Amino acid sequence: MMAFHGKPHQRWRLAFIAVYFTKILDSLTKKILEKNIPLLGPAILRSPSYTSIDVQDLLVSDPNGEDDDDHQPHLHLPFLNIDQKMLTEMVRDKDYERLRQFGGIKQLLAVLETEEESGINGKEADLLHRRDVFGSNEYRRPPKKAFFRFVLEAFNDTIIIILMGCAILSLGFGIKQHGVVDGWYDGGSIVIAIFLVIIVSSVSNFRQSRQFQKLSSETSDIKVQVVRQGRRQPVSIFQLVVGDIVCLNIGDQVPADGVLVEGHSLKVDESSMTGESDHVDIDEKDNPFLFSGSKISDGFGTMVVTSVGMNTAWGEMMSSIRRELDEQTPLQTRLDKLASSIGKLGLAVALIVLVVLLVRYFTGNTVGDDGKKEFNGRKTNMDKVMDSVVRIVSAAVTIVVVAIPEGLPLAVTLTLAYSMKRMMADQAMVRKLSACETMGSATTICTDKTGTLTLNKMKVVEFWLGKEVIEDDTYLGIAPTVLQLLQQGVGLNTTGSVCKLPSTSVPEITGSPTEMAILTWAVVDLGMDIDEQKQSCEILHVEAFNSEKKRSGVLARRVSDRAIQTHWKGAAEMILAMCSHYFDKGGLTKVMDDDTRMRFGGIIKDMAAKSLRCIAFVYKQVPQENGQSHEKLEETGMTLLGLIGLKDPCRPGVRRAVEECKDAGVQIKMITGDNIFTARAIAMECGILKPDEDLNNAVVEGITFRNYSEEERMEKIEMIRVMARSSPFDKLLMVQSLKQKGHVVAVTGDGTNDAPALKEADIGLSMGIQGTEVAKESSDIVILDDNFTSVVTVLRWGRCVFNNIQKFIQFQLTVNVAALSINFVAAVSAGDVPLTAVQLLWVNLIMDTLGALALATERPTNDLLKKPPVGRTKPLISNVMWRNLLAQAFYQVAVLLILQFKGMDIFKVDEKVKNTLIFNTFVLSQVFNEFNARHMEKKNVFQGILKNRLFLGIIGFTIVLQVVMVEFLKKFANTERLNWGQWGACIGIAALSWPIAWLVKCIPVSEKQFLTFWKASV
């Protein structure tokens, strides 16, 4: 019975729910029609196929906060009636009509449940719900390149293709001569060598690609200033949500699509989206729409986020772009040329050996194991002739294989990948690989002052009102009118903010370091209430601060009496030139005559001499003009309100870092916007200037530098140490002039206007903390801690990269010269080669893969900064390297030739053991020479050896593998077991390379380049 009645019961229940829900929908429809609030316009509320109904009224908590049985709390789910597509299209099409359908910007804020002043509530539940409804601010990244793709790319390398051809030939010849069982060894060993090189290269490139993607993600993780819960706070760009109020300043990247809420003199560069180079004016009336990915080129303001992630045009575009690490650095290009030159030389030697051996064989000068001639004209069996020819061709192929330096590209890849990873730990994020090596060639560093040489922790330490300095106990004596004007001058003319937190009595102050220092002084010492100042005045026009004018201004109307005032603040001597009057402490206005102007000029110089940054505040009452709009700020006839001096201490260790650069032969030039006296004082404090130096030529102002003739500029540029009151154009001109003089120039910058100089420089170094996104995108390396000592660390790493590559080249060329020489001489004289294909490829493996790992991962030392810069055109193979490698190669060739021709008599052994002794001595010589390669000029090659555990591990691993090759892989490696005495002899002969290296390093080298052929090649 229960089963029989179950179904009808369920049907009645469903019918009841359907009827009840329909009635609710009907009542809600009537409510909406009664309210007649076009929140989202007719385009959203109605469509031909359905009617949207706002069910929010039933999904709210009880207004009285009573959650009892009669007043149950309801779930509040906002944004159910918002069409994301409409929001996206509104900004994308710059559709002002659609914005009006929302009810304008104010109503849009209400729809998105955000406040202009306090932003969204910022609670975790609210943020999660916004992400669920509108999406997160991330774009779909293209699929990562799989490991197999790197393997295929490695196979496509020209060197690998040549080696594969050699392997096929060797396999064919070997099987033809010795059969399948024993004939695969030589060809198989080449295949194994190829496999190892491909695997190591692929793993290295794969790891470097993943590392680069990680760095790319970190580069993209921009900090954005948003207002949440009434507080201005930095959040990751990826944490941004629709409804967020974002604060925008010059140089910022617009983090998402949005609509301007409030802005002043706002201009954006939309070239990344539209391709148009002209900057676009943004304002609330005509064009309030902001595209994600565009850059703020002027002004400041706030915007409300309307679309994020894949709902923006920027997100769609970025998701289709695959950013891969495929740039070819200058060093890699030079190494490719070097590898090509070595390969050509090896091919030439192989051809000579092939011709000589064929001539010796067919003229009857080649003797077999039985002491008889191998070729007797027509009497010789054709199969034997073919076997002999195959053996000769195989020997030539072996020489080609050992001559091809497939380890060179691997070495530079390992070095660059290793240095990138280590530099990240040392507070430097590499954006362009070529910067790693170029920094080692830098001859001049042009650096900012604020935040790079100094701590960028500003504090007002001196305040002058009129001709009187105001001490802590005399602030109370300031006239109320002057105090009010000062408070207005600070509170209205600022891009910073002051937030009063209920949990603490100390307000939270945000903004640039300069703005924070001024606001802190105004709040603490002047008793300013910033909210009161903003409510008492209506801002009519704003002139944003920029690097050229070095000032910012505001035009405001007082609410109480409708009086209009202009306020300026900025570089003291520039602002002073705008003044005709000044206030004294008592509030009296006085005329500023020439003597008074000189007195104020002296006060500014005195503050600058104490390394203080001097800021002036001025104001002017603007006469009322009927019917005229005020858009231009007065710049003459101003009244001086006061002068403040901000102290920004030098960073600890910066003086030592400057001295290290000078010892390294790198010039330091400080380029700053501060006045000439402050700049000179800071330069003295940092060690850039010496007290006994000719300061007339060493310190120059930007305007003087740009007005030089080209000849004067070229003549004086070497002597200039400090450029004060410089504009971004002056900085660019300095970089261009230095490059014309042949310098390799590194430039630090943090502002948007520094972008041209950062791009023009050989190495652009942007600041990670204070740097704008425009500056970072224009740079090659981002200094994460804004510290000059990190710039010196980058210099040290740059030299280390170049030095490590040179070590490896020296090591590899030694092996190449020795191996080619011994096989060439033996082949020409005896008609046979002592080192087989398997043995030479094993040496090749030690030389290329393990050698690259060992030598490419040496960490930088301070000794690198005791040498002059490498220079832009210095050859890869220096005279010192030639001296070292030729000495070792001659020694190895001499020893191996003695063993080749006299080894059986000396050790009383047979041919096979003699060849094993040659092979073992040759390999151990490379092991000992690897220690010599660690230091090209230093006699003590063991210095710092214990710090490089990887090097010691590779040496140990190589020795173990060599023992296995000789003692256990007799058939594969064509070796015989050696007794203890023979092992001792091999080790002793190889160890002699250490004292030889010590003696050779006593030989001085000429400055004139040795072997011009190699100079031209590399």
Compute the distance between CA of residue 262 and CA of residue 826 in angstroms, rounded to an integer.
85
Q: Helix 407-425 vs helix 330-362: angle between axes, to the nearest 10 degrees? A: 160
Instruction: Return the structure tokens found at 806.
Output: 């040179």
Distance from C-alpha of 298 to C-alpha of 358, rounded to nearest angstrom? 78
781-783 vs 763-767, strand pairing mode: parallel
Q: Helix or strand or coil: residue 747?
A: strand
For the CA atoms of 927, 930, 931, 933, the dihedral, rounded to the nearest 10 degrees, stands at 160
Q: What is the DSSP string of 624-686?
A: P-TT----S---SSEEEEEEEEEE-PBPTTHHHHHHHHHHTT-EEEEE-SS-HHHHHHHHHHH
> What are the catalytic residues?
448
Question: Cα–Cα distance between 382 and 658 in angstroms, integer?
Answer: 77
- Contact indicator for 765, 429 with CB cutoff of 8 Å: no
Structure tokens at 719: 């002597």
Please, which residues have CB within 8 angstroms of residue 137's CB and are 6 or more apart in sequence? 237, 238, 239, 240, 241, 255, 256, 308, 309
Round to whole Å and give the CA distance between 814 and 237. Answer: 53
Q: List the one residue out of 504, 512, 507, 536 whose CA is nearest residue 522.
A: 507
CA atoms within 13 A on the CB side of 379: 5
Question: Around 996, how many Cα atoms within 13 Å sit in the side-chain half-sphere?
Answer: 21
Give, rounded to a whole angstrom, the gap between the first and last alpha carbons of the chain. Answer: 97
> Vertex 253, ends 252 and 255: CA angle to 5°?
125
Of 662, 657, 565, 654, nearest to 617 by C-alpha is: 565
Separation in Å, CA 221 to CA 475, 775, 782: 44, 15, 13
Exposed / middle / buried, residue 90 (Cβ in 10 Å: 0-12, 13-18, 19+): buried
Q: How far is CA 965 from the centre of its chain?
A: 45
* Nearest to 165, CA basis, from 194, 145, 144: 194
> By the 8 A CB rule, do 61 and 73 touch?
yes
DSSP 750: -
Token readout for 103 is 């009810």
Q: How many other CB atoms sit within 10 Å of the CB of residue 450?
A: 22
Cβ neighbourhood burial of 788 (10 Å; 0-12, 13-18, 19+): buried
Closest CA to 220 of 284, 88, 314: 314
Cα(708)–Cα(720) distance, integer angstroms: 13
**Token digits of residue 76:** 């509040």
In one-letter notation, the amino acid at residue 679 is A
Find out whether 106 and 65 touch, Cβ atoms under 8 Å. Answer: no
Residues 6+ apart with CB under 8 A from 183: 171, 173, 174, 175, 176, 177
Question: Three-state SS for 943?
Answer: coil
Phi, psi of 577 (to 5 degrees): -65, -15
Residue 691 three-state SS:
coil
3-state secondary structure of 89: helix
SS (H, E, C) 97-143: HHHHHCCHHHHHHHHCCCECCCEECCCHHHHHHHHHHHCCCCCCCCC
